[in-house]
Amino acid sequence: MKSLYFAISALVAAILVFWLSFYDFHRLNKVQNRFSEVLHEKEHELDQKLEYVSDLADSVSDLRNIYCILKDKFDVNEYALAIYKNDSLVFWTDNRIPFKRNLKFMNSSEPVILLGNAWYEMRSSKVDDLYILGLIVLKNEYLYENPFLHNNFQEDFNVCDNHGISVLPEQNGNVIYDVNGNYLFTLINQDPIEGEFDSSVPIILFFLSVVFYLVFLFML
């Protein structure tokens, strides 16, 4: 009778621990899924803006007149825009971003870039001799923080500030892809203890559930 009790207890423990491992794995994936969903919405919105600007730039004789039309269409806390004509910068929406005067110095082939004090995803459109560069604000990245400057993600992503961005694939992190499935970057938990804990817990719990299940089989 006692052995049956221990066997049932081991089975219950195995089921409970397995559920906890699945729950913890799902919790980690939730950060990735939520971030990706918001980012893909922003990519669609920026692509529409780039298409609009491409049509507009093609029909405006003086690009300086574009500012009056676009000034209310780009929230500087979410997006930024730069226009290059024959590889030279002729228009930009945000003076806080150090856009390079020449396109060849912009690393425009990179999908994600640290530019000035923030991380951005870059998307682009080309019309004749115009190269239109759109940026999605991902995260502020200041060398020093103070009560007014914080290394935080753009608020729509709802990600804790202890996460950072790595453009290199990392084993312990949440991999982020663009809407077309191309690799962009990895979200890294910059708290070494918490990050290691997050990556290890689901595995430990899974193996514990296996141990409890083997105990259950042994007790039968």
DSSP state of 153: B
Please list the residues that pair with 123 across neighbouring strands: 134
Once rounded to an integer, what is the mean pLDDT over residues 97-116? 86
Q: What is each CA distance from 104 to 45, 123, 160, 191, 197, in whole angstroms?
A: 26, 16, 34, 36, 42
pLDDT on residue 218: 56
Q: Which of 62-66, 68-72, 77-81 tops mean pLDDT?
A: 77-81
Which of 144, 129, 136, 140 shows the shortest CA–CA distance to 112? 136
C-beta atoms surrounding 160 within 10 Å: 13
Q: How far apart are CA 158 and CA 177, in angstroms?
A: 17
pLDDT on residue 17: 45
Q: How far apart are CA 124 and CA 143, in angstroms?
A: 28
Given a cut of 90, whether residue 123 has pLDDT beyond it is: yes
Once rounded to an integer, what is the mean pLDDT over residues 151-169? 89
pLDDT in tens, 8-57: 454 444 455 444 444 444 455 677 889 999 999 999 999 999 998 888 87
Q: How far apart are CA 220 and CA 216, in angstroms?
A: 7
Which amino acid would we find at residue 211?
V
Please list the residues that pair with 183 across neighbouring strands: 177
Q: Are 129 and 118 in contact (CB under 8 A)?
A: no
Q: How far apart are CA 10 and CA 45, in angstroms?
A: 52
Q: What is the pTM of this model?
A: 0.73
* CB burial string 86-124: b at 16+ within 10 A, e below: eeebebbbbeebebeeebeebebeeebbebeebbbbbbb
